[in-house]
Structure 1
Amino acid sequence: MARMFRDRHADILKRHPVWRPRMLHEILDETAAESPDRPFIITDAVTYTYADVAERSKQAAGGLAALGVAQGDHVALLMANHPDFVWIKYAISRLGAVCVPVNFLNRRDELAYVLAQSDAKVLITMDRFRDLDYLGMLDDIAPGWESAGGGDALPRLSHVVVRPDAGAVRDGVRTLADVYGDAPASVNSDAELVSDIIYTSGTTGQPKGVMMTHDMLARASFTSALTRGFDDGWRVTFSLPMYHVYGYVEGMLTAPWVGGAIIPQTAFDPAETVRAIVEHKAHDVLLVPTMTLAILEHLKASPTEMPDLVAVISSGQRSPKGIWDEIRARFGDVELTTGYGMSEVTATMALTRVGDPDDKLRETNGRMRDAGPAGSEDLRGKLVLYRVVDPQTGTVLPDGETGELQARGLCVTQGYYNKPKETEELYTADGWIHTGDLGHLVEDDYLVLDGRLKESYRCGGEQVMPTEIEDVLTAHPDVMQAHVVPVPDARMGEVGVAYIVARNGAAVTEDELVERCKNSLARFKVPKHVLFIHQADLPVTPSGRARKFLLSDRAIRELEIDA
């Protein structure tokens, strides 16, 4: 039986009573010295202890140093949730270099953009993943990369290192096995160095590289372990990619604070997730609501006891209100949390509290996190504060009124790499950042997300918030997801198109959903079109949010609208 949250929370505070700034590899080394034989990475095939990961990271750092990587250099890492990802991350930290994790679903032009925009000196990449051939992409981007690096196309890229999958290795290719070497000399510890440049999800356009320091990531991951009440040896499973802040900060970086383990999966599958929870005795699972819904469908068909599971966090996108009752019915008596965050604030900076009444899960997106020793008195013991501002006047609004959420604090980025204009636009004159999200604050530091500034639209001069329509649609029992986007309309200026992901076996129709909206919403809010889409065809960010600008483009093509 799991210990009570308050006891687990208290033990973390005893273990870490004061905040000591440190680099990420130093946190790993402290745990490896204290508990060398504890598992850190658990897979179906092999388990790696803290001592294993620390040693492999030192060897990888030696190999990278031999390639000329030094403090401040940028190393791009194109890797699924393989164990190599973890020790390479820590290897880059040991050199004082900067990791540029790359979305492994990127296509050729997207990969070329990130490599060029980030000034990557070295690329470490898989040779392929699923149907993606990364070496073929490199052949197109920079012919001769095996010996010449990036050539004229990517002049800063000196070396490419390949993690080969099954099969023969191409002649002339430098592999991971070729770059392991003796541990390099340690860099001077400086937690204010930039550790990562993590590219934004890009729901509204071209990704931007968010700069994060070691201290930001350390404080954020510690606060996650504290507020979720990690016990000694806590095990977390997830398929969320570690190139994204959710899987990285809430997953990989949290475990060392309590000598815990991660159980990473390279792809999401509901049955495999349940199996991993059971077989590897996971205490915690990280999900986005689309994953949660898929697991609920699986558990409905194949009920499974998960006796070791203590906690479920389902966050990262808007949740259907009925999801929480269904989780309790299918998962059993687990601690449920949901939250709100973004790359620019180093992950989840608002989270419901363990033990909150269910109305907090249904009606809010979490409470500004109390960070214990990692927090600041100037921030009321938190890492990040939020305020709500009128987008037109800039007036700070009282609780209950909707406006743009703005943030400031210890975990707010210094800006976007190599994008001075966008960095300047990110900040307000008094030092807060624009989130681009619409929301409002309620009592006791809870916040409610109401939508995106750039996703609202005007139909016949009336402002429409897609989230209001989506809530009506997802309340239908046959609707798994609903995403409402605008398209041009000659008479109304813009009208709504609702993309629907239906549940398996559902027979819901377009007319039925339109009628449902007519009965619940003002006429200008009723979507003009309802289109059905398979979940696999839905363009999403790494955190599972729909890329709505791509859905708008798709709707324009499908409906043959003259844009």
Structure 2
Amino acid sequence: MQDCKETRDQREQQIQANRQEIDRRHSEWKMQSIPEYLDWALKDYGQRPLIITDDETVDYCQVAEMSRKIASGLAGRGIRPGERIAMVMANDPMTVPLLFAIWRIGAVAVPINTLYRPDELAFVIGEADCCFLISMDRFGSRNFKNMLDDTLPGWSEGKCETMPNLRGGLVFKRDTPEEFLKELSSSSASYTGTSSNSEDSAVIMFTSGTTGRPKGVEITHDNLLRAAYAGAYHQAFENGRRAIFSLPLYHGFGLVVGLLSGMIVGGSIVPLLKFDPDKILTAIGRHQATYLMAVPTMTIALMDQASKGDYDFTSLTAIHSAAAPTPAWVWEQIRNIFDCDNIITSYGQTEVTATVICTVPGDDLETVAETQGSIVQAGLAGIPEQNGLIAEFKTIDPETGADLPWGMEGELCCRSPMNSKGYFRQPEATEKLFLPGGWIRMGDLGQFRPDGNLFLTGRSKELYKSKGELVSPKELEQILTGHADISQAFFIGMPDDNFGECGCAWIVRSKGSTIGAKEIMNYLKERVAAYKLPRDIWFIEDEDLPKTGTGKVQKAELKKIALAKVQATQKGE
């Protein structure tokens, strides 16, 4: 018993020591852009590795210099501060200096999901009104150059008729990265300084929305830096933390928790292009990674693979698995298989930049399994009036909008210096997102326990998460009802043991149609990313749809019917 107490006391002392070191090095919160922060960090961390792969190691100084060369080439092409540059880059090491280059010239990065199909790519590029597009040539079996040439003919020369504001683009050939640098930096000297400031938009990240198509969330440099600092401070990152992940840098989890938070402590990333359990587990030992990041579906696959081979996990000090509901047995097996007591889970949204709720090192497995953690402690980056917490929370009645007493279940609302600007060029959607006083409606239901930890009780939005990715039922419904043989379509999220949640589609055929599930699935495969595809497709007649007195289809009732069908199938009825 005494040993356990000493272990807890030692852990708490280490947490406080790490946090004090982070605050000591920064001394005060400075309003600055991300490139300015990188340049400031060079004095202490310049020779430290920032990006580590099996093929190369790139230090902080090299990333900074590469970003200046790329920035020079982008500025030479007439790209001005505030203009948007689309990126289709995955986790290639070049993604990091490219991001910093875009920010140096005051432009806004629009990182695009590499799982998107051609129509989705075109929509996002157009919605963000991008002036320039940089795309890797290929990724796995996907040839992005051919895809873009077919979907946006003339894009690279600025002659795309459907996007007149797209003035040009470049193809990044992954086999010859030096050619990319040479093409951008041959015309002029390296770009010095930075043309962005703390309140400028740094990225537009597209997230699924209840109104159908993805919406672009505008996030500032200060939003990102506060999120990065808060993540490092709350979790008490050790000096030089080394994170390994295949989570994409076009998502907040990979970009903020992976890359930017690590920079606060002079850390590095080991980014993998795609999820491969054996390669990730091997890379942990090879590169002595200390911090493993994944979503639960990945974590389960990693545990399965770990039991099949002889891997070295001795360097691991923390495992962060978030973005989907996770059963308690998963956490227990994570701890036992990886021999790692520091298991982290968290909660956040793109609209509030990144993580605002998170467990802390040393939280027991019961807390990790049952809650998302507590409001993130952010030190200098936090709210002084809230003792350095990164956010304030309250719950409201989801129907009336009335404030509820603390600890009562309701719709979660967040007010934070990490709150985004809202949705790019969508004032009506932004107005619905914000409440008076600067509160953002999170769209989730939950309550804070007496110990300060958040317990999520459901979603007030229709969105669901499949394989760690948000899916918008409305978007899929709009696509399906564009098919001549489909009269009505309804998507709902369903519990799934492997993916946390998955999609179920209810279809009302057009009169005389005999379209089947296979045809519908093939139709969707051509138009949406794989994680959006439904697990089940069922057919129903219009008169059998559960409806309200005003004729509105009751999706909650459809979900009950779907659950009953699944249970009956499992029982063999």
Shared fold (TM-score greater than 0.5)? yes
Report SS of the residue matched to 1:96: coil
Of 501, 512, 532 in structure 2, the residue corresponding to residue 483 of structure 1 is 501
Query: Matches of 1:426 and 1:220 in 2, distance apart?
Result: 20
Contact 1:288–1:314, Cα closer than 8 Å, also in 2:
yes
Look up the SS of the partner of 1:267 in the other structure.
coil
1:136 aligned counterpart, secondary structure: helix
- In the TM superposition, residue 49 of structure 1 has moved relative to its aligned partner by 0.9
Q: Which residue of 2 aligns with 1:325?
A: 332
Q: Deviations over 1:145-167 (max 9, x none)?
A: 343x1532111111111101449
Would the alpha carbon gap of residues 310 and 540 (structure 1) be closer, same or farther in structure 2, given more than 3 Å must change?
farther
Q: Which residue of 1 aligns with 2:44?
A: 34
Question: Does residue 271 in structure 1 map to residue 278 in structure 2?
Answer: yes
Measured at CA, do residues 186 and 176 of structure 1 come closer, stay the same or move farther in structure 2, by a change above 3 Å?
Answer: same
Q: CA deviation at 1:6?
A: 3.1
Give a deviation string over 1:300-322, Cα, whole Å, max 9, x none: 23353311110111111111121
Cα shift readout 1:225-264 (whole Å, capped 9, x = no counterpart): 1112212221111110001100000011112211111111
Map Cα deviations across residues 67-123 of structure 1 (whole Å, 9 max, x no partner): 111211111111011111000111111111111111111111111111111111111
What is the aligned counterpart of 2:120 among 79, 104, 110? Answer: 110
Structure 1 range deviating more: 287-296 or 375-384 = 375-384
Question: RMSD in angstroms over aligned alpha carbons?
Answer: 2.9
- Deviation at residue 334 of structure 1 after TM alignment: 3.3
CA drift of 1:207 comes to 0.9
Structure 2 equivalent of residue 513 of structure 1? none
Once the 2 structures are TM-superposed, how far is the Cα of residue 176 of structure 1 from its aligned partner? 5.0
User: What SS class does the counterpart of residue 41 from structure 2 fall into?
Assistant: helix
Q: 1:124 to 1:254 in 2, by over 3 A?
A: same
Shift of 1:42: 0.4
Q: Does the aligned pair in 2 maintain the 1:203–1:541 contact within 8 Å?
A: no
**SS of the residue aligned with 2:326?**
coil
- Selected match of 2:32 from 15, 22, 37: 22
Alignment of 1:69 onto 2:79? yes
Offset of residue 561 of structure 1: 3.1
DSSP-derived class of the 1:37 partner: coil
Q: Which residue identity is paired with 2:260?
A: L
Q: For 2:288 and 2:502, locate their aligned partners in 1 and report how far apart those are by CA, in whole Å.
A: 39
Establish whether residue 372 from structure 1 lines up as the match of residue 379 from structure 2.
yes
CA distance in 1, matches of 2:507, 2:151: 39
Matched, 1:387 2:366: no
- TM-superposition CA deviations, 1:414-437 (whole Å, max 9, x none): 110011111111112443112111
Say if 2:539 is the partner of 1:560. yes
The question of 1:287 aligning with 2:294 is answered yes
Q: Quote the residue 1:155 is aligned against.
A: 164
**What letter matches 1:40 in structure 2?**
L
Identify which range, 345-354 or 250-259, moves more after superposition. 250-259
1:420 to 394, 408, 427: 427
Name the counterpart of 1:164: 173
Task: Give the corresponding residue for 2:318.
Answer: 311
C-alpha separation in 2, matches of 1:447 and 1:370: 14
Write out per-residue CA displacement over residues 177-198 of structure 1, whole angstroms, 9 at most, x where no aligned residue. Answer: 3112422353456211111111
**Aligned partners of 1:401 and 1:440 also within 8 Å:** yes
Q: Tell me the distance in 1 between the aligned counterparts of 2:300 and 2:243.
A: 19
Q: Is the 8 A contact 2:134 2:170 kept in 1?
A: yes
Given that residues 105 and 196 in structure 2 are in contact (C-alpha distance below 8 angstroms), is that contact kept between their aligned partners in structure 1? no
Q: In the TM superposition, what are the counterparts of 1:521-536 in structure 2 within 5 Å?
A: none
Q: Distance in 2 between matches of 1:44 and 1:416?
A: 38
Question: 1:300 maps to what in 2?
Answer: 307
CA distance change for structure 1 residues 267 and 488 in 2, over 3 Å: closer, same or farther?
closer
Cα offset, 1:129, TM superposition:
1.2
- What residue number does 2:555 align with? none
Q: Is the 8 A contact 1:32 1:51 kept in 2?
A: yes
Instruction: Please list every run of 5 or more consecutive structure 1 residues that lacks an aligned counterpart in the other structure.
Output: 458-465, 491-532
Other-structure match for 2:53: 43
- 1:276-310, Cα deviation, whole Å (9 max, x unpaired): 11100011011111111111111223353311110
CA distance in structure 2 between the aligned counterparts of 1:141 and 1:376, rounded to whole angstroms:
46
- 1:116 and 1:481, CA in 2 relative to 1: closer, same or farther beyond 3 A? closer
Report SS of the residue matched to 1:433. Answer: strand
* Contact preservation (8 Å) 2:289, 2:315: yes
- Change in CA separation of 1:390 and 1:371 when aligned onto 2, cut-off 3 Å: same
Matched, 1:255 2:262: yes
Structure 2: distance between partners of 1:71 and 1:168 = 26
Q: Corresponding residue for 1:87?
A: 97
Q: In 2, Cα distance between the equivalents of 1:259 and 1:445?
A: 31
Map 1:469-548 to 2 at 5 A: 470=495, 479-481=497-499, 483=501, 547=532
Q: Which moved more, 1:226-235 or 1:201-210?
A: 201-210
Out of 242, 250, 253, the residue aligned to residue 249 of structure 2 is 242
Give the residue type in structure 2 aligned to 1:135: K
Q: 1:176 to 1:120 in 2, by over 3 A?
A: farther
Conserved 8 A contact 2:85-2:110: yes
Which sits farther off after the overlay, 447-456 or 353-362?
Answer: 447-456
Cα 1:150/1:428, change in 2 over 3 Å: farther
Contact 2:394 2:413 in 1 (8 A): yes
Aligned residues: 487
For the residue of structure 2 that corresponds to 1:307, the secondary structure is coil
Q: Which residue of 2 aligns with 1:129?
A: 139
Contact 1:161/1:176 (<8 A) preserved:
no
Once residues 233 and 103 of structure 1 are traced to their aligned partners in structure 2, the CA distance between those partners, rounded to angstroms, is 29
Return 5+ residue gaps in structure 2 as ranges: 1-9, 465-491, 509-520, 543-573
Report SS of the residue matched to 1:398: coil
| Shift in alpha-carbon separation, 1:203–1:311, aligned structure 2, 3 A | farther
Residue 226 (1) aligns with residue 233 (2): yes
> Is the Cα contact below 8 Å between 1:341 and 1:350 reproduced in 2?
yes
Q: Secondary structure at the match of 1:200?
A: strand
Alpha-carbon contact 2:328-2:366 (below 8 Å) kept:
no
Partner Cα separation in structure 2 for residue 203 and residue 288 of structure 1:
23
Residue 266 of structure 1: SS of its match in structure 2?
coil
Q: 1:559 aligns to what SS in structure 2?
A: strand
Give the match for residue 344 of structure 1: 351
Further displaced range: 133-142 or 48-57: 133-142
- Larger mean CA deviation between 67-76 and 196-205 belongs to 196-205
What is the alpha-carbon distance in structure 2 between the residues aligned to residue 387 and residue 485 of structure 1?
A: 30
Task: Report the CA distance between 1:9 and its aligned residue.
Answer: 2.4
